[in-house]
Structure 1
Amino acid sequence: MHYTVLGAGAMGLRYGVLLQQHAGATVDFVDTWQPEVDTVRQQGGVYVSRDGQNKHLVPVNIYTPEEYTGNPDVYVVFCKQMGLAEMLERSAHFFKPHQYALTCMNGMGHIEKLNKYFPAEHVIGGTALVATVLNKAGDVDFIGAEGAGSMNMCPQTEKPDEMTYNVLHDLEKAHFNPNLTDNFVGTLMAKVTFNSVVNTLCTMYKIRMGEFIQGPTAEKLSKQLIDEAYSACEAAGVQLLNTREEEWESVKYVSAVANPLHFPSMYQDFSKGRPTEVDYINGYIYDLGHAHGYEAKTHDFLRNLVHLAEFADNFDVPAFQAEVLGRSERETA
């Protein structure tokens, strides 16, 4: 099988590298971030660590969209929600009718964008409980023991075909522990619900998942957000994979046992001054419920708090102080 990863960030690199190493797949990487492309080429590959240990160089092929001329069987799509439209538009010249798209992106909104280029029969959606950190361009850290993560996947048509099973078997070889489901939207929304708790709260308070879950209000906060998410989905006629209690148990297990030292991807974006995907996670849950007569008010509140934190973190305090001081001096002159 030949895969091309669109988005050579933390998760894109993890999927591509492990498919290359363990499934024997041919893998190419395409990225729009020029420092990533330039650094990987200069190094002759990407530096890979696991939990900060055993850093080593893995040779990979990387291209900008304009340079790429490959013909893969499957595109593995791991862009940020805000950058997906640009990636697809710049990549459209090498898309072909026989090709499939596999995506395990965070949040919601990406399927509609993918369907502009790939029919539902060629889209496989998924979710990944896999923790990975991009330390800097060309340097990635796979968090957790090998094989410790898991993922769900489902064809958009909810009818697996030969390609679906080919991808499933390669992901098994790559140690992603894939589980094939028959509920497309419910599969995706289960991860959105998970992220709406862990990603958002860890980002707000700049803490690791293991720190969050030890907090005295972790269970109460988690269950409140999970309950609202499930109610929003029920109002929209979406059946999630797990029960409310099972979703809480997933939050607890992944935070306390699987990835306690991990800073979620939303925090990684926030800490580097990049826009977060909160509108596609908590915001999506609120908007989904609102469209069907249910108000997930806590999710809307958290969405706005994250945007306030983004604003405050990038606020130019010296310029503000100078402006206020100058205004005060003019008023007293």
Structure 2
Amino acid sequence: MKYGVIGAGAMGYRYGVMLQENAGIEVDFIETWQPNVEKVRQQGGVMVARDHENQHMVPINIYYPEEYHGHPDVWIVFKKQMQLADELKRDAPLFHDDQYVFAAMNGMGHFEKLNDYFPQDHIIGGTAMIATVLNGPGSVDFMGPVGSETMHMSNYAGEMNATTKQVMADFQAAGLGPVWSDNFMGMCLSKVVFNAVTNSLCTMFEIQMGQFIAYPGVKDMATQMFNEAYDACERAGIKLIETRQEEIDSVETVSRAYKYHYPSMYQDFSKGRPTEVDYINGYIAKIGREHDYVCRVHEFVTHEVHLAETVRQFKQAAEPVTTK
């Protein structure tokens, strides 16, 4: 099958390049960020490294939406939640009835937007425990050793069919480590509640995951936040694919495995962009309130991240301290 990646950012490059390089599959990239497109065209591809080493050039096909005339079998979508609606409007002429779409974006809210353009049984959801950094236009860094990639997949609606089986086989050949789940919402929310701890707290304190896990109180903090999220999901009738204890344990395992990684929310924050906290902690809080349960910690963390975004405008270089 042929794939089209919408959003040549950190994760879009990760999926597209691994499909192209490891599985020998044809991939086209659709991008709207002009510096990214022009840099790739200027240098003849995207510069790819793994853990800051072995940087090499990977030739790719990259297009603005208006100039693309290809017909992929499956679209892979990786955009920020806040940008997705406008992106899909711009890409709409490229969509056809026979195409499927896969998305493993952070947070929740994107599947409803995708459903405006694709039928529910042509939507494949995913979650990815795969850390990637976009260094800048035309340059990406895959974090973690080869073979450490792991992800989950599930149909938004309907049963697994020939297309979803082929997508899973292609992802396996690419080395992305797919695992199938029949529990769509439980799969999605398991990743959301994980990000609600690591992404949000690392962002507020502007730290790497290894620095985060160095604090001995992390397990207690994670337990409190996970318990609140699980309580809200249980009231909504959503059974997560991981137990509470598995989620708690994963914070330490993943944080140590990616100790030098800044989560994607911090990457946005550090560049002055809005974060996706409303689609992560805010989404958990929304589930709670819709089912007569107030997620006080997640509501507080949502406000704290927004406060951190707001105070950036007041930050100035520190005045030198003089002593007499």
Give the TM-score, by structure 1 length: 0.93
In structure 1, the residue corresponding to 2:314 is in which secondary structure? coil
Deviations for 1:242-289, whole angstroms, at most 9, x for unmatched residues? 110011111111111x21111100000000101100000000000111
CA deviation after TM superposition for structure 1 residue 113, in Å? 0.1
Q: Which residue of 2 aligns with 1:29?
A: 29
Cα distance, 1:210 vs. partner? 1.2
Please state if 1:118 is matched with 2:103.
no
Distance 1:244 1:307 in 2: 27
Larger of the two Rg values belongs to structure? 1
* Aligned-partner residue type, residue 80 of structure 2: K
Which position in structure 2 is the counterpart of 1:289? 288
Q: Which letter maps to 2:178?
A: P
Say whether the 8 Å CA contact 1:14–1:142 is kept in structure 2.
yes
Q: How far off its partner does 1:93 sit?
A: 0.2
* Residue 267 of structure 2: aligned partner: 268
- Residue aligning to 2:95: 95
Cα distance 1:158–1:184, how it changes in 2: closer, same or farther (>3 A)? farther
- Pairwise mapping of residues 1-333 of structure 1 onto structure 2 (< 5 A)? 1-256=1-256, 258-315=257-314
Q: Give the Cα–Cα distance (whole angstroms) in 1 for the partners of residues 167 and 26 of structure 2.
A: 13
CA distance in 1: counterparts of 2:176 and 2:316, whole angstroms: 45
What are the Cα deviations for residues 151-184 of structure 1, in whole angstroms up to 9, with x where unaligned?
0000112511101110001111111110000000
Instruction: State the shift of 1:298 in Å.
Output: 0.4
Q: Percent identity?
A: 55
Q: Report the 3-state secondary structure (helix = DSSP H, G, I; strand = E; otherwise coil) of the residue aligned with 1:149.
A: coil
Determine the structure 1 residue equivalent to 2:321: none
- Could you tell me how far apart the structure 2 residues matched to 1:134 and 1:238 are? 33
1:194-253 CA distances to partner (integer Å, 9 max, x unpaired)? 100000011011111111112021001111111111111111111110110011111111
Instruction: Give 1:310's aligned amino acid.
Output: E
Where structure 2 has 5 or more consecutive residues not aligned to the other structure, the ranges are 318-324
1:314 Cα shift? 2.8
**Deviation per CA, 1:266-319, whole angstroms, max 9, x where unpaired?**
00000010110000000000011111111111001001000110111133769x
Partner Cα separation in structure 2 for residue 314 and residue 16 of structure 1: 36
Matches of 2:253 and 2:99, distance apart in 1: 36
CA distance in structure 2 between the aligned counterparts of 1:19 and 1:174, rounded to whole angstroms: 5
SS at 1:314 equivalent: helix
SS at match of 2:267: helix
Partner secondary structure for residue 67 of structure 2: coil
* Structure-1 separation of matches of 2:36 and 2:233: 38
Paired residues, number:
317
After superposition, what is the alpha-carbon deviation per residue over 1:111-164, rounded to whole angstroms, capped at 9, x for unaligned? 000000011110000000000000011000000111102000001125111011
Cα RMSD after superposing both structures: 1.1
Tell me if structure 2 keeps the 8 A contact 1:124–1:154. Answer: yes
Q: TM-score, normalised by structure 2?
A: 0.96
Q: What is the CA–CA distance in structure 1 between the aligned matches of 2:190 and 2:29, rounded to whole Å? A: 28
Distance 1:15 1:281 in 2: 22
Displacement after TM superposition at 1:69 (Å): 1.3
Cα distance in 2, alignment partners of residues 121 and 112 from structure 1:
13
Alpha-carbon contact 1:158-1:184 (below 8 Å) kept:
no
Segments of structure 1 that go 5 or more residues without pairing to the other structure are 319-333
Question: In the alignment, residue 56 of structure 1 is paired with which amino acid?
Answer: H
Q: CA separation in 1, counterparts of 2:52 and 2:86?
A: 32
1:212–1:218 Cα contact (<8 Å) kept: yes
Q: Which moved more, 1:211-220 or 1:263-272?
A: 211-220
Distance in 2 (alpha carbons) for counterparts of 1:21 and 1:239: 36
Structure 2: distance between partners of 1:143 and 1:177: 15
